[in-house]
Structure 1
Amino acid sequence: MKHILAEVITIGDEILYGQITDTNTQWISTELDKLGIRTVRKSSVGDDKERILEILQEAESRADIILITGGLGPTKDDITKNVLAQYFNSTLVIHEQALMEVTAYFKSKGKELTEINRSQAALPDTCTFISNKRGTAPGMWFEKNGKVFVSMPGVPHEMKGMMTDTILSKLQKHFETPVIYHKMIKTVGIGESFLATKIEQWEDNLPPHIKLAYLPTMGQVRLRLTATGTDLATLQADVEAQTTQLQSLVSDYIYGYDNDTLESVTSELLLKHRYTIAVAESCSVGYISYSLGSVAGCSQYFMGSIVAYSNEAKINLLDVNRNTLEKYGAVSEETVKEMAQQVRLKFNTSIGMASSGIAGPSGGSEDKPVGTVWIAYADGKQTVARRLQLGNDRDLNIKLTAVHVLNLLRQSIY
């Protein structure tokens, strides 16, 4: 089956200047993907006629569908409609349905239609009118050499309404689109290259209609399986079969699927076992607490935390033994274990967890370089500690510490 390819073009100087954030292309690509249409390129261009003509020609050469947002306002700096008229050898004429709708729009606001706003109803005579129920700028559908061009307003809620109401269904009817099915497998505690080595043989034997992508993120690697075909149920069954094989290879590292997060998964585990938890933090300065508290309903298991950054705070707030700190230092297995044990006792919880380290960018030594972090888990029966060797980026080290703590929690209470 032929793949239907799309390109998304955003028009406007304000995007190139960084004055507004382009959220349109991400949303459009997601919706196209649901129809089995693959976005091959996203481009931004300013309000410049020659540049717009150039990018339209380029897009036509590589895509079946060209979706354009922006530049449809009534003022002189919005030139998209005029450029499209030139590109499609068209003449701007008043479109009666467009005029009725823009007139009704202003009437509903208690305003008269001005001449400048009346110009919104002037459309290239070669386009198909697309209604805009949320604004005044109509959409335009063009066909040329087997390609479809659609121009929409840049205002996100207007564009989304137009896509949802009309364009997506029209594209689906116009093109024979394949079915695309995605499944995301979430892993933690293993780097991308090590994971790739472990699953290399499985990856090499994937069926031709299923592709694998590695999507690394902070302390985690997401594996995306994408299957393409004609029947959704068949694709889902095929992907599930491959997922089962993958689980047998790296089950220790898989924590969830699709919309799961490390926070939501650990929350479910705590609720399932009816455990409560408290946290003692040093180098992570509250980020572990934030992660635990980011899930709705956390009050059922998260009892509180103590951020004890200085040695005196560790002694006075957590009752860490002064001799432990003097003998082993704040960044040590012995200290972090005591922190986890003591915070559990302080809050009378099932579990206590702790972090202590050198977040950076300075403060390291030869035996404890920047990025050295100790984390610990204690539940009254066992106390487990792990040493992490992270990098030199303070902010990243703080967030990665939280990821590793949640993973240690996940592994300890399975």
Structure 2
Amino acid sequence: MVRAEVITIGDEILFGQITDTNTQWIGTELTNIGIRPIRKSSVGDTEAAILEVLAEAEARADVILITGGLGPTKDDITKTTMCKYFDTELVINEHALEIITSFFVKRGRPMTELNRQQAALPKACTYIANYWGTAPGMWFERNGKVFISMPGVPFEMKNLMTNAILPKLKEFFETPVIQHKMIRTVGIGESFLAERIEAWEDALPPHIRLAYLPSFGQVKLRLTATGTDAEQLKAENQAQVDKVLPLIQEFVFGFDDDEMETVVGRLLKERGETVATAESCTGGYVSHLLTKIPGSSHYFVGGIVSYSNEVKINQLGVKPETLAEFGAVSEATVIEMSEGVRQRLGTTYGIAASGIAGPNGGSEEKPVGTIWIACAGPSGTVTQKLQLGKFREQNIQYTGIYLLNVLRKQILANR
């Protein structure tokens, strides 16, 4: 097994000023070529800290991938630190200088001495051309191990990895094959799911591992098979999926890269059906999920964010007496909301949500996290009461997933 460690460099990551999306992408791509990520680290722009984390990574990994700290300013010290780590010096790489010069000429911008110094690379490294920016990549080898330094800008890093680094790693290492298969579930907690499939999990062969990946209202089951034959591993993963599905079929909504909104959109498009939304507590979040998908105009007609009772009455046709008797957060209200938006926008389905997202506004009868959702369709209207927590953003996200799942079930029931 070839082991990899990813190191991100930059105070801005530690301070929370930017989100590190690089390591997630890198981990996926390494796994696809049979290299197993074993650790990721973030370190600030200080030489001592970088040297320390490099030494630690070299002791436990075969491939060390580093992003960040390659800019032209004084706070970017990755190159000089790599020189110290590999006991070498910076020299101008003429090919790198040519590409950097061309980068500025094409954009009609002047090139400063700081920009020119970006072509200065550690003498001990192999230069990796960056045609998408001004910071070159660097490849070091020592004692059979590889160190790769890349810019932290995701666009540049991904192009370097895809076009140069991943092919080079595949040539350098003889790697096993790693095959993943994901089962996506909704509406069942991680511990309850584990109890249902315990016997199946215990019977998995040693070269197939199971991981539970919980998120908002969902649990992903990831099967990871390791071996030498990709097609055989793929078939073995699928055989295990076929064994476990009868135990959890009612909770499974998709596989691999399927998201709930993708699955719902695909079902609607296949059937030539449409949906409209009536949202109160979710404030348009469900509409956002649906319209994230390219081609959603085929099935998403529109929505009404009915945050106030006046909009519920005037735009959706909710009866004033319903609100007076049951309140905005009630089964009766979401039934009228879903049926109203379906009728007014002329869609196959109308879906609605109304609740107390929090953190304030609850009562003893209806505490924060009380949410009602509904789906009106050709065969009638179904509802569900959610009792969530006290955190507003989480409640909105949970509601979005559960509401789309209710819609998914109704679409399947109306076959």
Query: TM-score under structure 2 normalisation?
Result: 0.87
Describe the superposition over 1:206-252 as per-residue Cα deviations: whole angstroms up to 9, x where unpaired. Answer: 11111111111112111111111111100110011111112111111
Distance 2:103 2:340 in 1: 65
Task: Give the AA of the match of 1:83.
Answer: T
**1:104: how far off?**
5.8
Matches within 5 A, 1:313-392: 313-392=311-390
Which residue in the other structure is 1:269 paired with? 267
Q: 1:249 aligns with which of 247, 257, 263?
A: 247
Q: 1:190 aligns with which of 174, 188, 200?
A: 188
Whether the 8 Å CA contact 1:280–1:352 is kept in 2: the answer is yes
Distance 2:328 2:99 in 1: 70
Task: Give the AA of the match of 1:56.
Answer: L
Task: Give the AA of the match of 1:146.
Answer: G
Matches within 5 A, 1:6-405: 6-73=4-71, 76-90=74-88, 92=89, 94=91, 98-103=93-98, 105-106=100-101, 109-110=104-105, 120=118, 122-135=120-133, 137-405=135-403
Whether the 8 Å CA contact 1:341–1:380 is kept in 2: the answer is no
| Alpha carbons of structure 1 residues 409 and 180: separation in structure 2 relative to 1, 3 Å | same
Describe the superposition over 1:110-155 as per-residue Cα deviations: whole angstroms up to 9, x where unpaired. Answer: 5998776665555544433434444555443333233222233444
Whether the 8 Å CA contact 2:80–2:90 is kept in 1: the answer is no
**Number of residues paired by the alignment?**
409
How much is the aligned-residue C-alpha RMSD, in angstroms? 2.8
**1:180: how far off?**
0.8
**1:89: how far off?**
3.1
| Greater Cα shift, 386-395 or 104-113 | 104-113
Q: 1:409 aligns with which of 401, 407, 412?
A: 407
Matched residue of 1:39: which SS?
A: strand
| Alpha carbons of structure 1 residues 372 and 148: separation in structure 2 relative to 1, 3 Å | same
| Alpha carbons of structure 1 residues 62 and 344: separation in structure 2 relative to 1, 3 Å | same
**1:56: how far off?**
1.6
Distance 1:134 1:310 in 2: 49
Matched residue of 2:250: which SS?
A: coil
Matched residue of 2:282: which SS?
A: coil
**1:177: how far off?**
0.7
Distance 1:42 1:128 in 2: 24
Matched residue of 1:330: which SS?
A: coil
Task: Give the AA of the match of 1:333.
Answer: E
**1:64: how far off?**
1.0
Describe the superposition over 1:61-84 as per-residue Cα deviations: whole angstroms up to 9, x where unpaired. Answer: 111111223334555544333333
Distance 2:316 2:280 in 1: 11
Matched residue of 1:292: which SS?
A: helix
Whether the 8 Å CA contact 2:96–2:136 is kept in 1: the answer is no
| Greater Cα shift, 353-362 or 316-325 | 316-325
Task: Give the AA of the match of 1:99.
Answer: E
Distance 1:313 1:118 in 2: 60
Distance 2:210 2:94 in 1: 49
| Alpha carbons of structure 1 residues 54 and 319: separation in structure 2 relative to 1, 3 Å | closer
Distance 1:62 1:103 in 2: 37
**1:376: how far off?**
1.8
| Greater Cα shift, 73-82 or 347-356 | 73-82
Whether the 8 Å CA contact 2:103–2:133 is kept in 1: the answer is no
| Greater Cα shift, 232-241 or 256-265 | 256-265
Whether the 8 Å CA contact 1:102–1:121 is kept in 2: the answer is yes
Whether the 8 Å CA contact 1:10–1:45 is kept in 2: the answer is yes
**1:19: how far off?**
4.7
Task: Give the AA of the match of 2:361.
Answer: G
Distance 2:255 2:218 in 1: 13
| Alpha carbons of structure 1 residues 215 and 109: separation in structure 2 relative to 1, 3 Å | same
| Alpha carbons of structure 1 residues 244 and 125: separation in structure 2 relative to 1, 3 Å | same
| Alpha carbons of structure 1 residues 75 and 364: separation in structure 2 relative to 1, 3 Å | closer
Whether the 8 Å CA contact 1:377–1:383 is kept in 2: the answer is yes
Structure 2: tracts of 5 or more residues without a match: none
Larger Rg: 1
| Alpha carbons of structure 1 residues 82 and 362: separation in structure 2 relative to 1, 3 Å | closer
| Alpha carbons of structure 1 residues 248 and 139: separation in structure 2 relative to 1, 3 Å | same
Distance 2:4 2:281 in 1: 47
Structure 1: tracts of 5 or more residues without a match: none
Whether the 8 Å CA contact 1:106–1:112 is kept in 2: the answer is no
